Amino acid sequence: MIHPTKSSISQGPLGGVVSNRRIKAHVMDADAVRRSLSRIAHEIVERNRGAADLVVAGVISQGDVLARRLAAKLTELEGIEVLAGAIDASGHRDDNRPRLPGRASDVPDLTDRTVVLVDDVIHHGRTARAAMEALLEFGRPRAIQLAVLVDRGHRQLPIRPDYVGKNVPTSESELVEVCLQEVEGLDAVVILER
């Protein structure tokens, strides 16, 4: 866990440096992240009556890491392989952000399968909308369900996650930073001041 006296995190969720940002609150440590993903996996199994015909697809660049973890947990729970993929939503965003190089979607055929779309944080809902549109390039899923580690509110679109690790009330002036072992070397969620 990040120590309360530390004033910044060396790397952000996209691998970039987060500097001059003061940690306002520690939201989740490694155990809380692990427990949340385990609970979400159990909820997915319960809602879908198993894991048959499930595909877990994560939004690049943090959601895909969480999707791999979630697929592994579902495989462990159900004893059948649950496929994980990565979806690049950047070319489908409505804010005209350019598609970033080196970020290619890697998703199996989704036709007639239930897709659990995974992201680290949901805020306005625009990334989730773009990711759903991007998923349709890989077939017509039977259903798309949304799982997020953190729901910080402030939605601008009528999108609500099906599975939430933690609801974290924030102001628009705050940032939610998710750090993952595979990227930053630790699992933690913190709120940073802008």
d(CA 43, CA 52): 14
**DSSP class of 98:** P
Q: How confident is the model at residue 61 (pLDDT cuts 50, 70, 90)?
A: confident
Encoded tokens for 181? 């072992």
Question: H helices of 98-178, where?
Answer: 126-135
The pTM assigned to this predicted structure is 0.88
Q: Which CATH number fits domain 33-95+104-171: 3.30.460.10, 1.10.600.10, 3.20.20.70, 3.40.50.2020?
A: 3.40.50.2020
pLDDT value, residue 64: 97
Domain coordinates of the chain in residue numbers?
A: 33-95+104-171
Could you tell me which of 66, 87, 182 has the C-alpha nearest to residue 144? 87
Q: How confident is the model at residue 54 (pLDDT cuts 50, 70, 90)?
A: very high
Q: pLDDT of 164-185, one tens digit each?
A: 999 999 999 999 999 999 999 9
Q: How confident is the model at residue 43 (pLDDT cuts 50, 70, 90)?
A: very high
d(CA 155, CA 49): 30
pLDDT value, residue 120: 98
The dihedral through the CA atoms of 45, 134, 148, 33 has a sign that is: positive
